[in-house]
Structure 1
Amino acid sequence: MKKYLFACLLLTTVIMVHAQDETVKQLQTDANRTITKDPNDTTVKTWKTGGVFNFNIAQGSLSNWAAGGDKFSLALNSLLSTYAFYTKGKHHWDNTLDLNLAYLNTTSQGTRKNDDRIDLVSKYAYDLAKKWDVGLLFNFRSQMLKGFDYADDNSKTLTSKFLSPAYVLLSPGVTYKPVPEFSIFLSPVTTRWTVVMDDSLSARGAYGVDSSKHIKTEFGAFATVNFFKEFSKTISFKSRADLYSNYLHNPQNIDVYWTNLLTMKLGRVFAITYALDLIYDDDVRLFGPNGDAARPQIRSMLGIGLSYRFSNIKK
């Protein structure tokens, strides 16, 4: 019964605290907005920069509560999402950086990390036609702090830390954008490196890296599909799906990194968001009775929170 009560409390806390970024809607709007310059400024402005910072906190306590539950709970969530877009003639250089970090503390479970992400995307492109461009895409994904797998007796096993793992992808390819809301980037010649710098994790052969090795090199095909739709001034939806097939090992087992975010604004500083993320990596075999199985990783979050937006673009 305690487990069910704790699960209910945890779910309620996450729903009230975990505010995903409102960035998707605002950044897309900023990227398409014309920059306004001072008439006296003769400098050609080719950069559009800005971002969003979110911070949320929630605390709960119980005393002689008949329904049971943890006596104390505290949840913290922070997000920094920035962008820098360069455009000059047919040349484009788009850069985005997302940083997420969240912690949850309860009486029964102590302090645990429940979100941690670094996601950097940089893409240079040259326009070939109205709906086509060719370019080079770079992606770096990792986490900032240590992550653990917790057993029923509260013992923990290290599963991740900064650069363990990290994914580095370099992909030349073409982009097809038939409408502003939808685009597909395709590359048949993509190199991906999986990095595991921690000695204990590399010794276990974690994340597909050979035992006691720190880097695994893969060569394959990559595609990323992006969709953004603003249904009204207050409601928007963003979806990104990255697909990768390793030519050198089990090419039929396609790695998937899929994120979805539905955003509804409540005034200027509040937003309700629903996020659904799915990851499948055939080399991440942390599941199953012996920890040797790959399974879909799913995260679903509903949240409300405050946000602060900054930009060099004048409205």
Structure 2
Amino acid sequence: MRKIILVVTILLFGINANAQVNEKELLNKNAEAAKKADDTTNVGWKRGGNIVFLFNQSAFNNDWLGGGTANMAGSLGLNYDFNYKAGKIVWDNKIIGSYGLTKLKGQDMVKSDDRLEFTSLFGRKAGQGNWYYSWYLNFKTQMDSGFDPKTGVKISHFFSPAYFQSGPGMLWKKSDNLKLNIAPATSKLIFVHDHFTQLGSAFGVEQGKSSRYEFGAALNGYYKLNLMENISMENILNLYSNYLDKPQNVDIDYQMNLVMKVNKYISTNVAFQALYDDNARGAFQIREVFGLGVNYGF
């Protein structure tokens, strides 16, 4: 009798252990299948962006004793992403463009915002983690002429200056909303029309020349998060150190775009940008835009 009970116990234990193993294998297979399905779903091009028109105004009648100058400002902006994924390949592209004007009562209309930037990041999977071998490309310039606010002299226009960066590196990408690229061998070209360098250097380009070559290290980070429902924050950080000239003077370009949605078409937008480039100006350049936005997503 004891032998029979022992045999039955062993059989039951074996069946239970085998069932647990089979259940574990089934769970693993289901997880792998879900992961493959997710990868298959995300294969190909993923496009999205928005166009936003920002407007703000201050007005005072003739009897207003508190002081102030009536003003009106508006800007048009584009933020568009088109990313590709297939197997071990990722290719992320972003276009940012904006142009704004401000009118103060009794004064001429002046430019308040002007930029055009394209970034492309190509990566191929390196191992099983979130790392990719990458190639980075960035181009930025402006669309209209710029004038010195003190003298009124033209100091820039389209493609003057224009900045181009490109080089190999390593990309860490958790998702489309969180990634970091490290490019330790990046070439940088600065272009400017030679009439801006007739009397001296401009934007780091030497007198009488129209371009400047730099070689250094670039670090580029991107992080987009939802602070709360209908409030999102986009952070873009670009750092560059020129090995050939004062590598300790790191060029900094930080951009923050905060969107507070009212509904599908209306939002309050805040754009902030901090620039440091000792070749252009030995101090931080700050740009801040705040206004009520009319959005069109596509």
Kindly state the Cα deviation for residue 180 of structure 1 after the two structures are TM-superposed. Answer: 6.7
- Alpha-carbon separation, structure 1, partners of 2:261 and 2:55: 19
Aligned residue number for residue 81 of structure 2: 83
Residue 93 of structure 1 aligns to which amino acid in structure 2?
W
Aligned residue number for residue 232 of structure 1: 228
Structure 2, unpaired ranges of 5+? 1-37
Structure 1 residues 309, 202: closer, same or farther in 2, change over 3 A?
farther
Aligned residue number for residue 109 of structure 2: 111
**Partner-residue secondary structure (3-state), 1:163:** coil
Kindly state the Cα deviation for residue 138 of structure 1 after the two structures are TM-superposed. Answer: 0.7
Residue 263 of structure 2 aligns to which amino acid in structure 1?
G
- Alpha-carbon separation, structure 1, partners of 2:219 and 2:254: 12
**Farther off after superposition, 206-215 or 172-181:** 172-181
Kindly state the Cα deviation for residue 198 of structure 1 after the two structures are TM-superposed. Answer: 4.8
- Alpha-carbon separation, structure 2, partners of 1:215 and 1:279: 21
Q: State the Cα deviation string for residues 85-114 of structure 1 (Å, max 9, x = none).
A: 122221122211111000011223311000
Structure 1 residues 130, 202: closer, same or farther in 2, change over 3 A?
farther
> Which of 206, 210, 214 is the aligned partner of 1:218?
214
Q: Percent identity?
A: 31
Q: State the Cα deviation string for residues 232-252 of structure 1 (Å, max 9, x = none).
A: 331222212111110000001
- Alpha-carbon separation, structure 2, partners of 1:301 and 1:55: 12
Aligned residue number for residue 9 of structure 2: none
Aligned residue number for residue 295 of structure 2: 307
- Alpha-carbon separation, structure 1, partners of 2:178 and 2:82: 20
**Farther off after superposition, 101-110 or 198-207:** 198-207
Residue 114 of structure 2 aligns to which amino acid in structure 1?
D
Contact preservation (8 Å) 2:197, 2:206: no
Kindly state the Cα deviation for residue 58 of structure 1 after the two structures are TM-superposed. Answer: 4.8
TM norm structure 1: 0.75
Kindly state the Cα deviation for residue 231 of structure 1 after the two structures are TM-superposed. Answer: 3.3
Aligned residue number for residue 99 of structure 1: 97
Kindly indicate whether residue 248 of structure 2 is the aligned counterpart of residue 258 of structure 1.
no
- Alpha-carbon separation, structure 2, partners of 1:228 and 1:137: 20
Residue 73 of structure 2 aligns to which amino acid in structure 1?
A
Aligned residue number for residue 242 of structure 2: 246
**Partner-residue secondary structure (3-state), 1:199:** helix
**Farther off after superposition, 87-96 or 213-222:** 87-96
Contact preservation (8 Å) 1:196, 1:202: no
- Alpha-carbon separation, structure 2, partners of 1:46 and 1:164: 36
Residue 182 of structure 2 aligns to which amino acid in structure 1?
L
Kindly state the Cα deviation for residue 60 of structure 1 after the two structures are TM-superposed. Answer: 5.5
- Alpha-carbon separation, structure 2, partners of 1:65 and 1:148: 34
Residue 180 of structure 2 aligns to which amino acid in structure 1?
I
Kindly state the Cα deviation for residue 134 of structure 1 after the two structures are TM-superposed. Answer: 1.1
> Which of 266, 270, 277 is the aligned partner of 1:274?
270
**Partner-residue secondary structure (3-state), 1:209:** coil
Aligned residue number for residue 122 of structure 1: 120
Aligned residue number for residue 172 of structure 1: 168
Aligned residue number for residue 17 of structure 2: none
**Farther off after superposition, 173-182 or 189-198:** 173-182
Residue 95 of structure 2 aligns to which amino acid in structure 1?
L
Contact preservation (8 Å) 2:194, 2:209: no
- Alpha-carbon separation, structure 1, partners of 2:274 and 2:198: 25
Higher relative contact order (CA 8 A, sep 6+): 1
**Partner-residue secondary structure (3-state), 1:301:** strand
Residue 92 of structure 1 aligns to which amino acid in structure 2?
V
Q: What is the aligned length? A: 259
Structure 1, unpaired ranges of 5+? 1-33, 38-43, 286-293, 311-315
Contact preservation (8 Å) 1:164, 1:201: no
Kindly state the Cα deviation for residue 229 of structure 1 after the two structures are TM-superposed. Answer: 1.6
Kindly state the Cα deviation for residue 273 of structure 1 after the two structures are TM-superposed. Answer: 2.5
- Alpha-carbon separation, structure 2, partners of 1:305 and 1:92: 32
Structure 1 residues 58, 274: closer, same or farther in 2, change over 3 A?
closer
Aligned residue number for residue 54 of structure 2: 56
- Alpha-carbon separation, structure 2, partners of 1:204 and 1:236: 44
- Alpha-carbon separation, structure 1, partners of 2:79 and 2:39: 20
Alignment of 1:69-80 (within 5 A): 69-70=68-69, 73-80=71-78
Aligned residue number for residue 22 of structure 1: none
- RMSD over equivalenced CA pairs, Å: 2.5
Q: Which has the larger radius of gyration?
A: 2
TM norm structure 2: 0.79
